Amino acid sequence: LLSEQKAVPVFLSTDDGVLTVNGRGYRGTFEITTDDDGGPIVVNTVETGVYLASVVGSEEPSTWEPEALAAQAIAARTYLLTHLGQH
């Protein structure tokens, strides 16, 4: 029917790889779609290395011992692999 609405995904990316929303920068690409009720679904896709550097950099001070930072990276990678694709 012509009156039926169809939603198509919208993909966003920038030349420098950083999209700024409300003053906060996000790396990667974004896919925006809607759920069955018409609500927004936003998926931010980033490379694993970029994600891990961001997590470790935001959760642990760079002055920590390298072994502690490596342990944080392992925990973050485990979390990522456990939850990958669950959006």
Task: Summarize pLDDT for 37-62 with one digit per residue, the tens.
Answer: 888 888 888 899 988 988 888 888 88
pTM above 0.95, yes or no: no
Task: Summarize pLDDT for 60-75 with one digit per residue, the tens.
Answer: 888 989 999 999 999 9
- Residues 6 or more apart whose CB falls under 8 angstroms from that of 4 comprise none
Burial pattern 15-33, b for ≥16 Cβ within 10 A else e, equals eeeebeeeeeebbbebeee
